Amino acid sequence: MLREHTGDSNFSLPYWNYGPNTNRKFPKAFGVQHLDGNPGNDADDNINPLFMKERDFYLTYYEHPLIPNMPLLELSDAVVDNTSVLATDVFFGATEDTGIGGGIADNTPGTRGLLESRPHDNIHRVVGGIIPGAAVGHDQNGHEIEIDALGAMARPPTAGFDPIFPVHHTNIDWIWTQWSVMQARSGVPFQTPLGSWRGHGSSSMRRETASTNRGNHTSITERSE
């Protein structure tokens, strides 16, 4: 669709495919602060627009006056693990931890589906970084209290300001695509466990594969029963 609208047959969205071991290091294009490699040159046109200071230092920074091989850390297997996501055959599970998209919609902000939980949330947490009790806040009575210090990606109100945000989310789209194709090939329908989702009666979701002049694709359709 984007290639059609841009008129560029090679157009594609970048994504950080952090699943393979060779891609676990934070992308250098986003982690270098000074474009010419000189930390002393703080001219505006030498500051990388993809760099953001409010990230975990030893995971995302490529510059350090005493450490030549930054960053020192990479994403671990636990952070990027999506085996439970790809293993499920239901989109909406009976509970939040059984469906790739979660369970029945509710008003509890803490509930989320498998894909949202991991690796989506994990990447936000480790890239942003968290230092427990390192900041000062105020309670409802105005008294100072210790709160966690969070980088931009670790906080929903600021995560979208980090340039790494969209390439993380396009990878989540890629994982979703892998799951969709796996289910389509197996012919497994996926069900909404409760009839109240989106105000429908008893409903189910099914996949259909189709061939168009743009190649094979998988479409998702809904029917009420």
Residue 113 and residue 217: Cα distance in Å, rounded? 24
Pairing of strands 190-191, 203-212: antiparallel
Report the pLDDT value the prediction gives residue 132, as an integer from 0 to 100: 80
Handedness of CA 5, 9, 14, 17 (dihedral sign): positive
Q: Which two tokens stand for residue 44?
A: 């505006």
Q: Residue 80 pLDDT more than 80? A: yes
Residue 51 near residue 60, CB atoms below 8 Å = no
Q: Residue 214 pLDDT more than 80? A: no
- pLDDT (tens digit per residue) in 179-190: 988 866 566 555
Report the chain's mean pLDDT, rounded to a whole number.
81
SS3 state at 177:
helix
Confidence band (pLDDT; 50, 70, 90) for 2? confident
Q: E strands within the chain? A: 130-138, 144-150, 190-191, 203-212, 215-224
Mean pLDDT for 57-86 is 95
- pLDDT (tens digit per residue) in 140-165: 999 999 988 899 999 999 999 999 99
| % of residues, the chain, pLDDT over 90 | 55
> What size, in residues, is the chain?
225
Identify which has the larger pLDDT, 33 or 99: 33
